[in-house]
Amino acid sequence: MQRVLIANRGEIALRVIRACRKAGLETVAVHSEPDANSPHLWAADQAVCIGPAPALQSYLDGNTILHVAKATGCDAIHPGYGFLAENAAFATGCEANGITFVGPAAQSIEIMGDKAEARRAAMRLGVPVVPGSEDSFTDASAAAEAVQAVGFPVLLKARSGGGGRGMRVVEDAAGFAGMFQQATAEAAAAFGDGGVYLERYFSRVRHIEVQVLGDGCGNAVHLWERDCSTQRRHQKLVEEALSPALDAATREAICTAAVDLTKGIDYRGAGTVEFLYDPADKGFYFIEMNTRIQVEHPVTEMLTGIDLVGEQLRIADGQELAFETPPAPSGHAIEFRINAEDPARGFAPCPGRVTTWRPPAGADIRLDSHVYPGFEVPSFYDSLLGKLIVRGDDRADALAKAGLALDRFQVDGVATTIPFHRALLDDPEFLAGDIHTGWVEARAA
């Protein structure tokens, strides 16, 4: 590979460009019209406008992006996360045009992108799964028949995509049809696929995900787990590693299961195998695999010292895995998503102009962001302004450093989630690690 097109925006586009520079690769950035002043354009060797604000006419327009890649002499495309990152048809289009897709093979995306198919793959490889439907549905009556075998409460999940879209919790049969219609409509709007999968809902579980790397030839390694249990409406707010809920034996078992799945599908590149973990009986259950780099990948990078985007580039270039066993974790790392949202108004999005942007700096502090004073937060895309990642010698040390960092983080012009995060660090249950995926909503009730 010599020249990489970054098919994304915001902080992840800037992050990928930096990794490409480190690897000696040229870069081409693409952008929509409202992103014309985004820093990733200045960091790249070349920048091309690909369309107006709506994502379907810009960042989700695979044909235009492929055209730009060929016209600018790119031999690879890095999709980042979101948008086209888990689009099997786009990965196939890259291959058909002689362009390296920095990610897994289209077949892996298809298998793991269909939650029912992913479930079957996990079961075949001996990985425990959450009780759920064998197939996905677009018809409420057919789904209502299948839910009898799964049982209530049930979680409706979009067959394609993630991020909490197309997801609903249904407590009983009376509310099923209405919730199903909401879920399938939201899934169709977000991913162009209204298929919905049924899964038994657990009310007090942890969300544990294992970072993996595979070479596409049956070799794989894990880089430990991340705990993503601090969520609101299935949207992650805080991620940390290692999980404060796992003992050593459970950690080994869950990481081994993730590697078994990765090897079993000949997975290539970086991915994340996600599980629900029940602290009551120490049982863990596979729920899905994200076939891309994650928003929260810096947590693992801070914990291990491994450049995950750099590894993605190496693997896509046909190189072997850089290591066969995971490096020992160094202390504890935690990430806070800084969104342009107002926690006092139900986390309502707050687009607008950032008038002050003074992030903290120092040892063991990392900020991944594309924001600067005067930056206009658009209303067309997600509200992520940046990610504050802090490492400590242990969890208590990391949380103490995080509190100081958040105190120094000054943002004016738009509301942000910084006050929410600061309040978390004064909450005894959060400090003790005694939380679950529904804890934020329960705390606010």
What residue type is 444 in one-letter code? A
Active-site choice (9, 159, 292, 337):
292
The pLDDT mean for the chain works out to: 95
**206 carries an active-site annotation:** no
For residues 207 and 229, the answer to whether their CB atoms sit within 8 Å is yes
pLDDT tens digits, 370-379: 999 999 999 9
Inform me whether the pLDDT recorded for 400 exceeds 80.
yes
* Alpha-carbon gap, residue 39 to 42, rounded angstroms: 5
Please, which residues bridge with residue 339 across strands?
384
The secondary element (H helix, E strand) that includes residue 144 is: helix 140-150
pLDDT band at 164 (very low <50, low <70, confident <90, very high): confident
- Domains defined along the chain, listed by start: 3-102 (3.40.50.20), 131-200 (3.30.1490.20), 206-444 (3.30.470.20)
Lowest mean pLDDT among 83-87, 115-119, 162-166, 284-288: 162-166
Inform me whether the pLDDT recorded for 29 exceeds 90.
yes
What residue type is 358 in one-letter code? R
Inform me whether the pLDDT recorded for 348 exceeds 90.
yes
CA-CA-CA-CA torsion sign (181, 183, 189, 192): negative
* Alpha-carbon gap, residue 331 to 319, rounded angstroms: 30
For residues 327 and 382, the answer to whether their CB atoms sit within 8 Å is no
Helix axes 297-304, 308-316, angle to 10 degrees: 100
Cis peptide before 326 (omega within 30 of 0): no
pTM, entire model: 0.89
Q: How far is CA 120 from the centre of its chain?
A: 22
Per the structure block, which two tokens stand in for 87?
Answer: 């689009």
pLDDT at residue 115 in the model:
80
Inform me whether the pLDDT recorded for 37 exceeds 90.
yes
pLDDT at residue 338 in the model:
98
* Alpha-carbon gap, residue 225 to 209, rounded angstroms: 5
* Alpha-carbon gap, residue 202 to 38, rounded angstroms: 41
* Alpha-carbon gap, residue 398 to 141, rounded angstroms: 49
pLDDT at residue 344 in the model:
92
Lowest mean pLDDT among 147-151, 161-165, 258-262, 264-268: 161-165
pLDDT band at 222 (very low <50, low <70, confident <90, very high): very high
pLDDT at residue 116 in the model:
80
Lowest mean pLDDT among 151-165, 193-207, 326-340, 431-445: 151-165
Give the mean pLDDT of 91-116: 95
Helix axes 115-124, 106-113, angle to 10 degrees: 100
